[in-house]
Amino acid sequence: MKLDKGTGRQGDKEKGRQGKSNAVSLSPGLLVSVPLAFLLLFYFYPIASILTLSFAPEGRFSLAALGKLIRTPYYLQTLWFTTWQAALSTLLTVGLALPGAYVFARYDFPGKSLVRALTTVPFVLPTIVVALAFTAFLGPRGLLNLALMDLLGLDRPVLDLQHTLTIILLAHVFYNYTLVLRIVGTYWANLDPRLEEAARMLGADRWRVFREVTLPLLSPAIGAAALLVFIFCFTSFGVILVLGGPRFATLEVEIYRQTIQYLNLPLAAALSVVQILFTFALMAVYTRLQARLARPLELRPRRVTQRRPRHWREWLAVGVNVGLMLALLVTPLAALVERSLTLSATGGVSLAFYRQLFYNPRGSAFYVPPVAAVRNSVGFALATVGLSVTLGLMAASVLDSRGSARSPRPRGLRLRRLLDPIFMLPLGTSAVTLGLGYIVALDEPPLNLRTSPLLVVLAHTLVALPFVVRSVLPALRSIHPNLREAAALLGGSPWRVWREVDLPIVARAMLVGAVFAFTVSMGEFGATSLIARPERPTMPIAIYRFLGRPGAVNYGQALAMSTLLMLVCTLGFLAIERFRVGEVGEF
Amino acid sequence: MKRKMVFALIGVLVLTACWPGPAVPTEVPVPVPTTPVQPRKVRVMTHDSFDISEETLAAFEAQYNAEIEILQAGDAGVVLNQAILSRDNPLADVLYGVDNTLLSRALEAGILDPYDSPLLAEIPDYLELDSQHRALPVDYGDVCLNYDKSWFAEHGLTPPANLRGLVQSEYRSLTVVENPATSSPGLAFMLATIGHFGETGDYTYLDYWAGLRDNDVLVVEGWEDAYWGQFTYGSGGEGDRPIVVSYASSPPVEVYFAEEPFEEAPTEAVVSESSCFRQIEFVGILVPKGAQNRDLAEAWVDFMLGTTFQEDIPLHMFMFPANQNAALPEVFAKFALIPEHPAEVDYAAIEANREVWIEAWTETVLR
């Protein structure tokens, strides 16, 4: 029942030979140089600058801090905790989201795109807002505890999750569920169901079909999603600090503490280096595995693979999974919306907080009109989408290790193995370190960008790029080389081959990448919160500003602005998903 | 075809590079004051809490034919570190927002130029910590315990009158504080306990914190989580801690930002003898690289210390004006309690001992 793993490889070897004859095509060197130049300028240069400065506080380079790090048990414990909580979070997220991805891949049901959009909303919310939502929902006097106390007739809260590992894990699932749902779900949707049907016909039971057919076929997408979730949890900061409480610390938390509180740059830099090296090593292992797992597939359009649930059991599967998504991801959000519409003094329902967003009673120079906040956020986000999808497609085409008519094989492979982890590095790098790197590196013309709004887009793009690459790559690798060869043999130029063969198949995955790029930017990820910038406030910044001072009206307005952020994001996701590239879209 | 694609890519890149739209100058050329018509620019680097009215800002810009550019980046600690790291090529002309917990780091780094503002005469001496006038006091605020008045009334419990009360059993599980390792009010409150109980003797600040720990004090990451997530009054009813570390200005701010007008403040600050820590915020002129608008930077500093700006401070930044001649707005005059004797901690000692104190605190309270 095992799939013949040889097939793909065979194709590769043939391909390699034929590649030469087509070498006139767009050179991969040129293609990769653009995203590489981007990384070089806006990632490696700033990081190198700040690390050099940090390791040489008195002008003399010294790695003593690194030695201290390795000798201090506390930091080893921190590294250990950082790693295993990330691993556990990843397992949990993948485990919970896989059934959801299946349901989304195979069935069509009413409200599907809305549910999918809603599951992505958590990703953009500031941690403090999520913490408040969790407290409203799971806290000692939250909805769930009140209901349980009522039910069991108790006068003390039943669940005490505050500052526990459980709530860290829950929050990580809350944030990252969408990564698995979208990346795996999209890939799964185009897998040919006939393979599974054939296996069933030959007598394999459901479990065996899943284990021996579906899972191996899905592994590139699962691997890509799991890797992103892992790195996100590995560098987790806000969730650990706010929800986990002061007894938990990841490397990122320590980097922040050492930098901001003590200005202990050597130690912070040493921690950063460990974090970066760890990400790199992980990525390198992953890239090797991935190259072995990838295989060309007969992809099928969605209209063939998806249908309405028919049997009651199928409806049950859909219902349970959608129910889980709603309970886990949407209820806390709903608690926020409900609060933004409720006056705390009277308990009455009112739009008062939304109306107040439009007034500037104190004539403040830093008042943010909601329309301006939306415009700024969406503007930054669209620019990030444009830049990261362009760069991401270029990077992914080169990384596609099975190659195509345009990439000659032998020399490229080793380079690509190195390149792939490199494109992921920004995600595994401390935002604090990178933010300070910008301050020290980008201070002279022509790169005098320290206070430019452009830096915001660049910083967001750095974080968004890995998402685009990881979303697109599995789809790109699944393309059968025969398709490209046939197209090339028939005289198609590389550009035309790309447009007519690659693009239709990659388009869905590209849109997934675009959704994540949009999300990353709307949620103000990365180093941007640490960049000194002139007034161009985004929605998360407006939320922080309201939350920064006492008073019921400020709290209400913060929640109203959060609701607005959720609304804008939901609309954004729906719009991006509706986007069609030419006649493409059915895949 | 190949060329077409390259052009398309370049096109996309250029388009992206051109964004953002007309509203934003992406490259800010250093203004050269050639013609008097052109407004000169003063760049002020500050924390996210900086706020002032449009009117006040416009008054300065009109008077000096200047343009103020405010650069905000995170909290005061982040901003100071940025200023230190960029000292060879400063991001701005003026730095505002360094407080007395960060002052000696700023002074030791040598990033500030002395300036003898004539307005210092209107500011009480005790606020002027730097005798060389590199850092000039603009405002102050006291970090104190706040309690929820109606919670204590409903539970028939007397609110705490001082720090020592919190370790008594009737206040068990009632207090939430911020972690001094991650929060500036958290650090300030720890400093208040150091000023109050001292580091040596029979009952040190660490003994006090051990007592708080035994009395189930809750430690959270920052002010937002403490106030909105845990405090009974600030949160929408989900919090279960009626005592929180906040500011002496929080009660009047609660009144000012209430849904319905209040007769009296719903919360109150504990301002008894040496139970608060006074944060003083400073402004200073950054040591420039080459020539700069020194006169304009000085004018801005004077302006910040003058009564127009100073009277704007309470309702925009919720701090108290340093200038004695500045009148307080009604809501502050009526509802604010100002501690007469805040706890005393030498600012130079703070930078020198910060790490040691925080480590000892962490060891006592968290491990």
B73 and A364 within 8 Å at the Cβ level: the answer is no
Let me know if domain B142-278+332-365 sits in CATH 3.40.50.2300: no
CATH of B33-140+279-328, one of 3.30.460.10, 3.40.190.10, 3.90.1640.30, 3.40.50.300: 3.40.190.10
CA distances from A346 to A90, B155, B231, B260 (A): 43, 21, 19, 10
Question: How confident is the model at residue A153, as a pLDDT?
Answer: 84
Residue from the list B71, B228, B246 with its beta carbon closest to the beta carbon of A555? B228
DSSP assignments along A419-483, one per residue? HHHHHHGGGGS-HHHHHHHHHHHS-STTS--TT-HHHHHHHHHHHHHHHHHHHHHHHHHTS-HHH
* Residues in chain B closer than 8 A to A241 (CB atoms): 182, 221-222
> Which residues share a beta bridge with B220?
B178
Distance from CA of B133 to the nearest CA of A (A): 24
Flag whether residue B54 sits within 8 Å of chain A, measured between CB atoms. yes
Angle among Cα B197, B202, B206 to the nearest 5 degrees reads 50
Q: Which residues contact A60 (CB under 8 A, 6 or more apart)?
A: none
CA B314 to CA A436: how far, in whole Å? 32
Flag whether residue B258 sits within 8 Å of chain A, measured between CB atoms. yes
Give me the residue spans of the domains in chain B. 33-140+279-328, 142-278+332-365
Flag whether residue B21 sits within 8 Å of chain A, measured between CB atoms. yes
Question: How confident is the model at residue B233, as a pLDDT?
Answer: 87
* Residues in chain A closer than 8 A to B77 (CB atoms): 260-261
B91 and A241 within 8 Å at the Cβ level: the answer is no
Token pair for residue A247? 């007894």
Flag whether residue B16 sits within 8 Å of chain A, measured between CB atoms. yes
Flag whether residue B185 sits within 8 Å of chain A, measured between CB atoms. no
**In angstroms, how far is CA A584 from the centroid of its own chain?**
24
CA A172 to CA A166: how far, in whole Å? 10
A549 and B181 within 8 Å at the Cβ level: the answer is no
pLDDT tens, N- to C-terminus, chain A (587 residues): 333 333 333 333 334 334 333 433 456 667 778 899 999 999 999 999 999 989 887 777 888 888 888 888 999 999 999 999 999 999 999 999 999 999 999 999 998 989 999 999 998 898 888 988 888 888 777 778 888 888 888 877 788 888 899 999 999 999 999 999 998 998 898 888 888 888 888 988 888 988 888 898 898 889 989 998 999 899 998 899 999 999 999 999 999 988 888 888 999 999 999 999 998 998 888 877 777 777 777 777 777 788 888 889 899 999 999 999 998 888 888 888 988 898 877 778 889 899 999 988 888 888 888 999 999 999 999 999 999 999 999 888 888 755 444 444 445 566 777 788 888 899 889 988 998 898 889 888 778 888 888 888 999 999 999 989 988 888 888 887 788 888 888 888 878 887 777 887 788 888 889 998 999 899 877 677 677 666 778 898 889 889 888 888 899 999 999 999 999 999 998 888 777 554 444 44
Whether B142-278+332-365 and B33-140+279-328 are alike in CATH topology: the answer is yes
CA distances from B199 to A360, A454, B212, B341 (A): 47, 49, 16, 19
Q: Which residues contact B74 (CB under 8 A, 6 or more apart)?
A: A529, A530, B47, B48
* C-alpha dihedral sign at A68, A72, A76, A82: negative
Question: How confident is the model at residue A90, as a pLDDT?
Answer: 97
Flag whether residue A506 sits within 8 Å of chain B, measured between CB atoms. no
Express each pLDDT in A75-117 by its tens digit: 999 999 999 999 999 999 999 999 999 999 999 999 898 999 9
Tell me which residues of chain B have a pLDDT lower than 70.
Answer: 1-37, 235-237, 291
* Residues in chain B closer than 8 A to A352 (CB atoms): 259
Best to test chain B binding among A42, A162, A261, A536 (most B CBs inside 10 Å)? A261
Characterize the bridge pairing of strands B112-113 and B277-286: antiparallel
For A136: left if phi > 0, alpha if psi spans -120 to 50, otherwise beta; the answer is alpha
How many beta-carbon pairs under 8 angstroms link A with B?
222
Give me the residue spans of the domains in chain A. 6-578
* Residues in chain A closer than 8 A to B354 (CB atoms): 261-262
CA B212 to CA B163: how far, in whole Å? 10
* Residues in chain A closer than 8 A to B53 (CB atoms): 362-365
* Residues in chain A closer than 8 A to B234 (CB atoms): 550, 555
Residue from the list B85, B181, B316 with its beta carbon closest to the beta carbon of A436? B85
Characterize the bridge pairing of strands B136-148 and B320-321: antiparallel
Which amino acid is residue A148, in one-letter code?
Answer: L
Distance from CA of B294 to the nearest CA of A (A): 21
CA B68 to CA B57: how far, in whole Å? 8
Best to test chain B binding among A130, A366, A450, A498 (most B CBs inside 10 Å)? A366
Residue A349 DSSP SS3: strand
B16 and A529 within 8 Å at the Cβ level: the answer is no
B228 and A439 within 8 Å at the Cβ level: the answer is no
CA B136 to CA B285: how far, in whole Å? 9
Cβ count within 10 A of residue B43: 23
Flag whether residue A30 sits within 8 Å of chain B, measured between CB atoms. yes
CATH of A6-578, one of 3.40.50.11540, 3.40.50.1400, 1.10.3720.10, 2.40.50.100: 1.10.3720.10
Question: How confident is the model at residue B26, as a pLDDT?
Answer: 42
Flag whether residue B256 sits within 8 Å of chain A, measured between CB atoms. yes
CA B296 to CA B282: how far, in whole Å? 18
CA A85 to CA A168: how far, in whole Å? 9
Q: Which residues contact A40 (CB under 8 A, 6 or more apart)?
A: none
Question: How confident is the model at residue B367, as a pLDDT?
Answer: 84
* C-alpha dihedral sign at A91, A95, A101, A106: positive
Question: How confident is the model at residue A412, as a pLDDT?
Answer: 58
Q: Which residues contact B309 (CB under 8 A, 6 or more apart)?
A: B52, B56, B303
> Which residues share a beta bridge with B243?
B147, B175
Q: Which residues contact B179 (CB under 8 A, 6 or more apart)?
A: A246, B186, B219, B220, B221, B222
Express each pLDDT in B158-191 by its tens digit: 999 999 999 999 999 999 999 999 899 999 999 9
Question: How confident is the model at residue A24, as a pLDDT?
Answer: 38
Residue from the list A365, A439, A452 with its beta carbon closest to the beta carbon of B54? A365
Flag whether residue B69 sits within 8 Å of chain A, measured between CB atoms. yes
CA A363 to CA B169: how far, in whole Å? 47
DSSP state for residue B120 in the 8-state scheme: G
Query: Contact at 8 Å (CB) between A388 and A426?
Result: no
A246 and B315 within 8 Å at the Cβ level: the answer is no
Flag whether residue A399 sits within 8 Å of chain B, measured between CB atoms. no
Flag whether residue B238 sits within 8 Å of chain A, measured between CB atoms. yes
Token pair for residue B304? 């910040």
Residue A245 DSSP SS3: coil
CA B55 to CA A29: how far, in whole Å? 56
* C-alpha dihedral sign at A501, A502, A508, A510: negative
Element (H, E) at A398: helix A370-399
Residue from the list A263, A363, A553 with its beta carbon closest to the beta carbon of B259? A553
A246 and B221 within 8 Å at the Cβ level: the answer is yes
B24 and A536 within 8 Å at the Cβ level: the answer is yes
Counting every residue written for chain B, the total comes to 367
**In angstroms, how far is CA A511 from the centroid of its own chain?**
13
